[in-house]
């Protein structure tokens, strides 16, 4: 394990307001740097593989600019029966996603990479979250989307908000993974990288 370095900077490689809010819960000073990574899936790539590759690519892109910092990269891909579902981007796509997920279990593959170029530290992990959706009527889908407009969320629902009413069950060993950053794993990996969480 690298020696503890309280002065080493922490950088979140992300444009997600959700990840920024989650990381701020740890009361650690950090900055945010957009990673500028192409998120196009590769042919034959599973949702878990895609999430892992993008988390690592985001961390590496930001670490190249901040070699002395500890960098966090994360990505989430909704996995519906092996098919990756991205962010809907608009109302029509969100309606289509929620109709497809109605009554089904979706695995939200949330990948995490923490690295520091200066120390050679790199760790990767995956926090899958199994989410079972209720059978959703069209009027419920429409009312939910009009209320919360989750068009920037993989899977078209915010479990931390009204979207919880669309669900029957959530199965996870790292609850914040569903929102976008698995904080239990993040704390473990930051400690391994030499940062003091407390």
Return the active site residues: 75
What b/e sequence results for 24-60 when a residue is b if at least 16 CB atoms lie within 10 Å of its CB, and e otherwise? eeeeeebebbebebeeebeeeeebbbbbbbbbbbbbb
Alpha helices in 66-197 (DSSP H): 91-101, 138-148, 183-192
Instruction: Report the SS3 class of residue 71.
Output: strand
Q: Is 75 exposed, middle or buried (0-12, 13-18, 19+ CB in 10 A)?
A: buried
Q: Name the strand (E) or helix (H) holding 111.
A: strand 105-116
């Amino acid at each position: 394990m690298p020696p503890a370095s309280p002065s080493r900077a922490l950088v979140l490689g992300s444009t997600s307001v959700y990840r920024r809010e989650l990381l701020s819960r740890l009361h650690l000073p950090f900055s945010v740097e957009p990673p500028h990574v192409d998120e196009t899936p590769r042919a034959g790539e599973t949702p878990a593989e895609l999430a892992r590759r993008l988390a690592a690519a985001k961390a590496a892109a930001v670490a190249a600019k901040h070699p002395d910092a500890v960098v966090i990269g994360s990505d989430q891909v909704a996995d519906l029966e092996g098919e990756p579902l991205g962010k809907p981007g608009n109302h029509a796509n969100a309606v289509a996603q929620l109709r497809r997920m109605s009554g089904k279990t979706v695995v939200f593959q949330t990948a995490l990479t923490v690295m520091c170029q200066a120390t050679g530290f790199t760790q990767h992990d995956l926090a899958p979250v199994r989410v079972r959706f209720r059978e959703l009527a069209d009027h419920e889908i429409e009312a939910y989307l009009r209320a919360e407009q989750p068009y920037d969320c993989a899977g078209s629902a915010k479990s931390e908000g009204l979207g919880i009413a669309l669900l029957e069950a959530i199965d996870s060993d790292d609850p914040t993974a569903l929102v976008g950053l698995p904080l239990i794993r993040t704390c473990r990996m930051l400690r391994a990288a030499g940062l003091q969480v407390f």
